[in-house]
Amino acid sequence: MAETKTLTPERKESVVIRFAGDSGDGMQITGSQFTTTSALFGNDIATFPDYPAEIRAPAGTLPGVSAYQIHFSSGEIFTPGDEPDVLVAMNAAALKVNLPMLPKGRTVIVNTDGFSEANLSKAGYEKSPLEDGSLDGYHAIAVGLTTLTMKVLENSPLSTKERKRCKNFYALGIMYWLFSRALEPTEEWIGKKFKKRPDVVDANLTALKGGYAYAQASELFQVRYEVPPAPQEPGLYRNITGNKALSLGLYAASVRAGLQLFMGSYPITPASDVLMELARLKPQGVITFQAEDEMAAICSCIGAAFGGSIGITATSGPGIALKSEAMALAVTTELPLIIVNAQRGGPSTGLPTKTEQSDLLQAIWGRNGECPIAVIAARSPGDCFATAMEAVRIAIKYMTPVILLSDGYIANGSEPWPVPDADSLSADPVQFHTEPEGFQPFMRNPETGARPWVRPGTAGLEHRIGGLEHMDGSGNVSYDPENHERMTILREEKIAGIAKDIPDAETFGEDTGDLLLVGWGGTYGSLHQATISAQEKGLRVSQLHLRHINPMPSNTGDLLKSFRHVVVAELNRGQLDILLRAKFLVDTVRLNKMQGQPFRVSEILEKIEQVLQGEKG
């Protein structure tokens, strides 16, 4: 495409862009395409898709605003950014919701066609923010995106409504020019996505190129930017979401163990994509079952586990509540099962599209009776793969259900992921028990405390298991008080013994110091960047991020007691903090946030400095 004006791109190390509009404006597609293009270019990336909570909120209203934030950089990054450098607002509601997070002096591109009297009224504006000084202090660029899109598509056979939908690609074309991105990856995607509708392919390609040409030819943009590729270790990379990485990890673990993977699940935000991703692996032998409810879903997985498969179910907090009785059945029958909880804001239906970490205590204790379950947590989209592998390993080796905690932020977010070498995932097939002599259903491995796994139909090994308390060894139903206490302790000791089989916790930074920043799950990136920033200021700050939460690594208590201050940061009201205080009797400081949004690095740094300055003062 020929240039009509020549601008030498200004180099930037990193940029944060936030696309915002109605849920029907295609902001998630726009953001994901910019993400993919940047990943192919070689930038390090971190994303934050911010979905509206309402499924079909009225167009132009505040509850219907959808956003996608991408941080792309020439160096290593760990978060989608505290605040945008550029905000693209497709209508008045999108501007009202997102402008408060844009610092003065930054760029805001507004679609003037989204500021009609009706749009302003729905967004709660008495006067147009384009005219009343609301954008003073910003670098505001007004573009009639809808009008311009309709103009370049005036010869398209599509309906007016369909042509208007192409305005997100017009906006994307503008951003591709502004940040020196190539059009080819998105052109290829459009061709594949809409291949059954050639007229739609043509319209979207025309809009994309039209936006690029408009930015190139207009006088609105006096500067162009370039973010060079980030240095990376050689290897094969792909841009991956947490749900995708989790699905691949579960599948890889099943192959490694030589087991059939069975997933029984019921759709729920933000876990539904795990079911969808595994369903795509049907040609590879994966079996998926969309059940009629959460209880049927997990019970089908228990049946699969009894039959010799690895059972997987995925849900969110409300689904965990419904699955709790069946989880207890899996605990007492001691069957391997993976329960994925992609956490969201609660209680009840709560904030179904927003992130939170408020299901930790539910995972640890949320069942009737003394009912211990192993609990682990992924820390980033890419880490979901390794965490899934670890969950399956523990479940099989210790014959126990494992709860794998994810959250809305990492489930939907994405990052570059180095595809592991297949040879590093060498086979370690499960050895089912086949020897009848001396067999008892609840005889135990002396090292792990696990009972034997027997496939139904194995000659001479017929047995029964169920929800009633059973006799140690034989598995016969037992109401003996002392036997019940013994079985309770054995199940507890088995889970506690996993601590001998997991790595010691490691700190980022020194093992002693003035302050230890502790977290778990999807807060990793923000906490890690805050720790780096604190260390660059000369502060003796280290980070401890827990993957294994029940049980915790054996050296966790020693590390906590090696620092003058311990700050526990969570997107809840202090649930890990409760566990650490109770188990290790350490004094801690809480940093909590419950706004459906991830931590900002600035929030964490402020808390670190507050704690350390308080010591000095």
Q: HSE (CB half, 13 Å, CA atoms) of 227?
A: 28
Rounded Cα distance between 558 and 498, Å, is 18
What does the pLDDT read at residue 74? Answer: 97
Rounded Cα distance between 133 and 330, Å, is 61
The whole-angstrom distance between residue 601's C-alpha and the CA centroid of its chain comes to 18
At 157-188, the pLDDT tens digits run 999 999 999 999 999 999 999 999 999 999 99
Rounded Cα distance between 569 and 529, Å, is 13
Rounded Cα distance between 104 and 240, Å, is 33
Mean pLDDT of 592-596: 96
Instruction: For residue 420, give every residue at least 6 positions away whose Cβ sits within 8 Å of its Cβ, in sequence order, or none.
Output: 385
Rounded Cα distance between 441 and 461, Å, is 8
- Extract the tokens encoding 11: 């180099």
Helix (H) or strand (E) holding 161: helix 160-164
What does the pLDDT read at residue 3? Answer: 47
Q: Is the pLDDT of residue 7 over 90?
A: no
Query: CA angle, 48 as apex, 552 and 355 as ends, to 5°?
Result: 50
Q: Is the pLDDT of residue 86 over 90?
A: yes
Q: Are 317 and 346 in contact (CB under 8 A)?
A: yes
Amino acid making up residue 55? I
Mean pLDDT of 559-571: 98
- Extract the tokens encoding 495: 């889970």
What does the pLDDT read at residue 406? Answer: 98
- Extract the tokens encoding 74: 């020439």
In the chain, the percentage of residues whose pLDDT exceeds 70 is: 99
What does the pLDDT read at residue 427? Answer: 79
Q: Structural domain boundaries of the chain?
A: 10-226, 238-420, 507-616
Nearest CA to 544 out of 531, 534, 535, 536 is that of 531
* String of DSSP letters for 269-298: TTTHHHHHHHHTTGGGT-EEEE-SSHHHHH
Mean pLDDT of 455-460: 94
At the fourth CATH level, the homologous superfamily of domain 10-226 is Pyruvate-ferredoxin oxidoreductase, PFOR, domain III (3.40.920.10)
Q: Considering the domain 507-616 in this protein, what is its CATH number?
A: 3.40.50.920
Mean pLDDT of 91-120: 96
Q: Is the pLDDT of residue 275 over 60?
A: yes
Nearest CA to 296 out of 273, 319, 275, 279 is that of 319
- Distances in Å between the Cα of 593 and the Cα atoms of 63, 355, 396, 540, 575 are 21, 11, 36, 24, 12
Arithmetic mean of pLDDT over the chain:
95
- Extract the tokens encoding 171: 């906006």
Q: How confident is the model at residue 153 (pLDDT cuts 50, 70, 90)?
A: very high
At 298-320, the pLDDT tens digits run 999 999 999 999 999 999 999 99
At 535-550, the pLDDT tens digits run 999 999 999 999 999 9
Rounded Cα distance between 64 and 78, Å, is 28
507-616 has the same fold as 10-226: no
User: pTM to 2 decimals?
Assistant: 0.94
What does the pLDDT read at residue 23? Answer: 85
What does the pLDDT read at residue 197? Answer: 96
* String of DSSP letters for 508-556: ES-SSEEEEEEEEGGGHHHHHHHHHHHHHTT--EEEEEESEEESPPTTH
Instruction: For residue 447, give every residue at least 6 positions away whose Cβ sits within 8 Å of its Cβ, in sequence order, or none.
Output: none
Q: Are 575 and 557 in contact (CB under 8 A)?
A: no
**Alpha-helical regions (H) of 223-359:** 242-257, 272-279, 294-306, 317-333
Q: How confident is the model at residue 616 (pLDDT cuts 50, 70, 90)?
A: low
Q: Is the pLDDT of residue 138 over 70?
A: yes
What does the pLDDT read at residue 183? Answer: 97
Beta strands in 125-204 (DSSP E): 139-143
Rounded Cα distance between 48 and 34, Å, is 13
Q: Is the pLDDT of residue 2 over 70?
A: no
Residues in the chain: 617
Mean pLDDT of 74-82: 96
Rounded Cα distance between 13 and 72, Å, is 9
At 398-435, the pLDDT tens digits run 999 999 999 999 999 999 999 998 888 877 899 999 99
What does the pLDDT read at residue 422? Answer: 81
Rounded Cα distance between 277 and 270, Å, is 13
What does the pLDDT read at residue 59? Answer: 87
Q: Which residue has the tokens 């391997």?
A: 336
For 238-420, give the CATH class.
alpha beta
Rounded Cα distance between 68 and 320, Å, is 28
